[in-house]
Structures are given as structure tokens and as C-alpha cells.
């Protein structure tokens, strides 16, 4: 198998060495070059022909954001992973870089105690992203190997009640890799008079989720906020789970409120999509509309099973508009998606369903039956 060619761009010699050494032991990856700033990186790209670029945010001469902007006209499909600090300044710059066309990001290890631990952090967070963005198959460690099966059409959704009582009373969204840009396209397109609340898990660390919420709030006609414990869930509000906390919903009399916890990660994530989806199903039952957007891995799969089991609805982003068709791909292949929707059409589809306007069921991709092995490419 051809190895994935990686170019490392960082102004710090120690970081370039750290990342190079962290990637060196993986037989599927080859570091084909390094660069101390964006200007040299732009010169090296046609020379070393990388499959993936890791990019520092703050560099002299040409910083990461400027470099992403400069390379996109000539290399529109080249995956770029930002390597940023876990600070407010780093978070803001990372979101700017993603908006400029970066594919994903990893935060630099801090206060880990040793070089060996720092390298381990880089391996755990960076290598799966490199492989996923390069289109390689990633098998979850605890999952069985995939079994080849002939794709079949997914089962049609079970008959559901009709009328106002069957309309979704909440929209719950799960998203990961490519999520900030996907949400920036989706959330501002939702109407100001949306009659239901929206709750979201975006896989992000602390501080980044607050910055994302503030950015989306400035762009959206709806009120977007980062969740806090005890916060009421009300129509027309969009609530995003905070980094490092699972967000769940609980009913208190006639109110529905946010609860946060630091239970163990699920699907290697905290916040994770599945705990939120489970809690939404418990509170709203059949009136749940689940939406799975672009992302690496299979977080959200079990939650979508729960939504379908109670008769709720599930939408999945299509492969063509996803940065990584991992999370939505698992849901579609398991036969759980009522409809597979391009990102540009997702806001309209959500609005139609919340409004109770009939919409034909469709899945434009061949998918496998619900009981198939769930270890597909992410």
C-alpha cells in the first residue's frame, strides 16, 4: 500500500521533530518534508507532493491562515490539519483557519510531563485524522473486521403518527470533523421563527466550543449559546455542548433543562453525540429529529438507533458535501437515515419536517442492512 505523504509546517524545531518522530512508527505514513513557515511550505508542496499537510497557526513571514488562503486556489482538495494551542487566541485563529479552508485541527500537547507522553498524544489525535482525510479505512479498536456484504436499499421508516403531535419538537445534531464550517452553513440558514429548540454536540475541546457558539450567534437569526448546567431548553434557541462535558437533557416538571457531566468518554469523545441523543429520546420520544453531519468515527450511530426505535426521524449529510463521511456514513449504511441530504439543503429539510410539511423518503446512496458490520471506512 502506498504510504500517506505528510508535510509538517511549524516554526518551532522541537515541534517539527516531535511530530516527525510521532508519525515515524506508523507504516502507513511517510513524512516527506518539513517547513518553518508558510512561505517555504508553499514552495515545498509542488516539490514533495504531500497527501496531507499539518500546519502551525502562528508563524513568521506567512502564518497558517495566510498559508491556507494562499494554497487553496492551486490545491483546493489538499487536506490541511491545523496544529494550534489550547488557548483563546489559538482557538480563534483555528476557527479562522477552518473558515479559510483548513480541513481539521489538532491542539498541541501541553503540560503532559514528558516528550514521550507528548508524542503519544500526537499519535492518538493526529494519526487518525491524517488517515481519515487521506481516505484510508480506519477500524475501531474494539470492533470486528468488516464483513463484505452486497449493498441493499435501507428499510423504509416504520409508519408514524401524523398531525401536529407527530411533528418534531426538537432537533438534535451531532457533528465532528468539518463541523465548524458545516454549522456555519447550516445554522444561519435556519429561519428566525423556528418553533423548536436545537441542541448540538460538536467534538471540540473547552474554550473552542464557546468561541464557536459566539461566532455562530453573530451569524444566525437564532440565539446560539454554549450550554451551562440548568439552562432551559426553549424554542428558537440553539445550545452547543461545552468541551470536555457530556450534555444531556432532563425534564423538570414542564421544563426541559441541560445537565452536564464528566462521565467517561464515549466513542473516544467528550462531549459525545450518543449520550445527548439518548437523553433527547427519553424526553421527547417520537418527536425527536436527529441530524448527523460530517465527522470521523461512528459517534451518533447508537443514538440514531434509539431515535428510530421510538419512531423518531433521522437525517444524514451526504458523502459529497461531507469533509469525512464517517459518522453519517455509519448511520446511512445501517439503514437508519430517513433521508440523505446535501449540506446546502439540510436547513430547508429540517424546516420542512419541523413545520409538518410532507416530504418523500429517499436515500440516494446504496446502503447495507441495519444488522451489517459497523466497521466501515471513516
Residue 359 clears pLDDT 70, i.e. is over it: no
Q: Is residue 366 part of a domain?
A: no
Q: Are residues 173 and 318 in the same domain?
A: yes
Q: Is it true that the peptide bond before 128 is cis, omega within 30 degrees of 0?
A: no
- Which one from 10, 51, 299, 318 is the annotated catalytic residue? 299
364 occurs within a structural domain: no
Coil, strand or helix: which one is 4? strand
E strand residue ranges, 36-100: 52-56, 80-84
Same-domain status, 84 and 190: no
All three cell numbers of 255: 421544563
Pairing type for strands 198-202 and 170-175 reads parallel
Rounded mean pLDDT, 267-294 = 97
DSSP 166: G
Total tally of structural domains belonging to the chain: 2
Polymer length in residues for the chain: 378
262 versus 88: the higher-pLDDT residue is 262
Residues 211 and 324 reside in one and the same domain:
yes
Q: At what angle do helices 64-71 and 38-48 cross, to 10 degrees?
A: 40
Give the pLDDT confidence score for residue 201 in this predicted structure: 98
Which 3 state secondary structure label does DSSP give 144? Answer: coil
Domain membership flag for residue 363: no
Give the pLDDT confidence score for residue 358 in this predicted structure: 64
Q: What is the rounded average pLDDT for all residues in the chain? A: 88
Coil, helix or strand for 83?
strand
Residue 361 within a domain: no
* Burial class (CB within 10 angstroms; exposed 0-12, middle 13-18, buried 19+) of 163: exposed
User: Are residues 350 and 257 part of one domain?
Assistant: yes
Q: What is the pLDDT of residue 137?
A: 54
Q: Which of 251, 18, 20, 41 is nearest to 112 (CA)?
A: 18
Of 369 and 350, which is predicted with more confidence? 350
With pLDDT > 90 as the criterion, what percentage of the chain qualifies?
A: 77
Neighbours of 214 (CB within 10 A): 15
Residues 233-237 have a mean pLDDT of 96
Note whether residue 140 is domain-resident: no
Report if residue 367 sits inside a domain: no
The 198-202 sheet, strands edge to edge = 223-226, 237-240, 198-202, 170-175, 288-292, 313-317, 339-341
Express each pLDDT in 246-274 by its tens digit: 999 999 999 999 999 999 999 999 999 99
Grid coordinates belonging to 345: 439543503
Active site residue 176: yes
| Helices and strands (DSSP H and E) totals, the chain | 11, 14
Instruction: Mark whether 183 and 229 lie in a shared domain.
Output: yes
CATH classification of the domain holding 347? 3.40.50.180
Q: What pLDDT does 372 receive?
A: 35
**Boundaries of domain holding 294:** 164-355
Q: Over pLDDT 70: what percentage of the chain?
A: 86
User: DSSP assignment, residue 110?
Assistant: -
> 173 and 246 share a domain?
yes
Task: With a cut of 90, say whether residue 328 has pLDDT above it.
Answer: yes
Does 362 fall in a domain? no
Whether residue 171 is found in the same domain as residue 126? no
DSSP letter string over 228-281?
-TT-B--TTEEEEPPTTSEEEEEEETTEEEEEEE-PPPBTTBSS-HHHHHHHHH
Residues 205 and 322 in one domain: yes
- Whether 55 maps to a domain, the answer reads yes
- Residue 192 has a pLDDT of 96
With a threshold of 0.85, does the pTM exceed it? Answer: yes
Average pLDDT over residues 32-43: 97
Given a cut of 80, whether residue 113 has pLDDT beyond it is no
Check whether 21 has a pLDDT greater than 50. yes
Q: Given pLDDT bands bounded at 50, 70 and 90, which one contains residue 114?
A: confident
Which span out of 18-27, 115-124, 134-143 was modeled with the highest average pLDDT? 18-27
Binning pLDDT at 50, 70 and 90, where does residue 378 land?
Answer: very low
Q: Is 282 among the residues known to form the active site?
A: no
The active-site residue out of 10, 51, 103, 203 is 203
Contact 110, 87 (CB under 8 A): no
**Among residues 203, 210, 252, which one has the least CA distance to residue 231?**
252
Residue in 103, 132, 176, 321 annotated catalytic: 176
More confident residue, 142 or 162: 162
User: Can you give the CATH number for the domain in which 72 is found?
Assistant: 3.40.50.2300
Average of per-residue pLDDT across 332-342: 97
pLDDT in tens, 156-214: 455 565 555 679 999 999 999 999 999 999 999 999 999 999 999 999 999 999 999 99
Is 279 designated active site? Answer: no
Least confident of 52-56, 252-256, 356-360: 356-360
Amino acid at each position: 500500500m502506498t504510504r500517506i505523504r505528510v508535510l509538517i509546517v511549524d516554526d518551532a524545531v522541537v515541534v517539527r521533530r516531535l511530530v516527525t518522530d510521532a508519525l515515524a512508527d506508523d507504516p502507513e505514513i511517510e513524512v516527506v518534508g518539513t517547513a518553518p513557515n508558510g512561505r517555504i511550505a508553499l514552495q515545498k508542496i509542488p516539490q514533495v507532493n504531500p497527501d496531507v499537510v499539518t500546519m502551525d497557526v502562528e508563524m513568521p513571514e506567512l502564518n497558517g491562515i495566510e498559508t491556507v488562503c494562499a494554497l487553496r486556489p492551486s490545491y483546493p482538495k489538499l487536506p490541511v490539519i491545523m496544529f494550534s494551542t489550547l488557548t483563546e487566541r489559538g482557538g480563534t485563529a483555528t476557527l479562522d483557519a477552518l473558515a479559510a479552508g483548513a480541513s481539521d485541527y489538532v491542539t498541541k500537547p501541553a503540560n503532559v510531563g514528558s516528550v514521550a507522553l507528548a508524542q503519544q498524544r500526537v499519535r492518538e489525535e493526529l494519526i487518525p485524522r491524517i488517515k481519515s482525510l487521506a481516505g484510508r479505512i480506519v477500524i475501531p479498536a474494539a470492533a470486528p473486521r468488516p464483513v463484505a456484504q452486497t449493498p441493499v436499499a435501507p428499510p423504509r421508516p416504520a409508519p408514524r403518527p401524523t398531525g401536529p403531535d407527530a411533528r418534531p419538537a426538537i432537533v438534535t445534531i451531532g457533528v465532528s470533523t468539518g463541523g465548524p464550517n458545516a454549522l456555519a452553513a447550516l445554522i444561519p440558514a435556519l429561519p428566525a421563527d423556528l418553533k423548536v429548540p436545537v441542541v448540538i454536540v460538536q467534538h471540540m475541546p473547552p474554550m473552542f466550543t464557546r468561541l464557536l457558539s459566539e461566532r455562530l450567534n453573530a451569524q444566525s437569526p437564532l440565539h446560539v449559546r454554549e450550554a451551562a448546567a440548568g439552562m432551559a431548553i426553549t424554542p428558537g434557541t440553539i445550545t452547543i455542548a461545552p468541551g470536555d462535558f457530556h450534555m444531556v437533557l432532563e425534564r423538570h416538571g414542564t421544563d426541559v433543562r441541560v445537565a452536564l457531566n464528566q462521565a467517561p468518554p464515549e466513542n473516544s469523545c467528550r462531549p459525545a453525540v450518543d449520550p445527548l441523543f439518548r437523553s433527547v429520546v427519553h424526553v421527547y420520544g417520537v418527536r425527536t429529529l436527529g441530524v448527523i453531519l460530517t465527522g470521523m468515527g461512528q459517534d451518533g450511530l447508537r443514538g440514531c438507533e434509539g431515535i428510530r426505535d421510538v419512531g423518531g426521524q433521522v437525517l444524514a449529510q451526504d458523502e459529497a458535501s461531507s469533509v469525512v463521511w464517517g459518522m453519517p456514513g455509519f448511520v446511512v449504511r445501517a439503514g437508519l437515515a430517513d433521508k440523505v441530504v446535501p449540506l446546502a439543503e439540510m436547513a430547508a429539510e429540517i424546516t420542512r419536517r419541523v413545520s409538518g410539511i410532507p416530504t418523500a423518503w429517499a436515500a440516494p446512496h446504496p446502503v447495507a442492512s441495519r444488522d451489517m458490520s459497523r466497521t466501515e471506512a471513516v
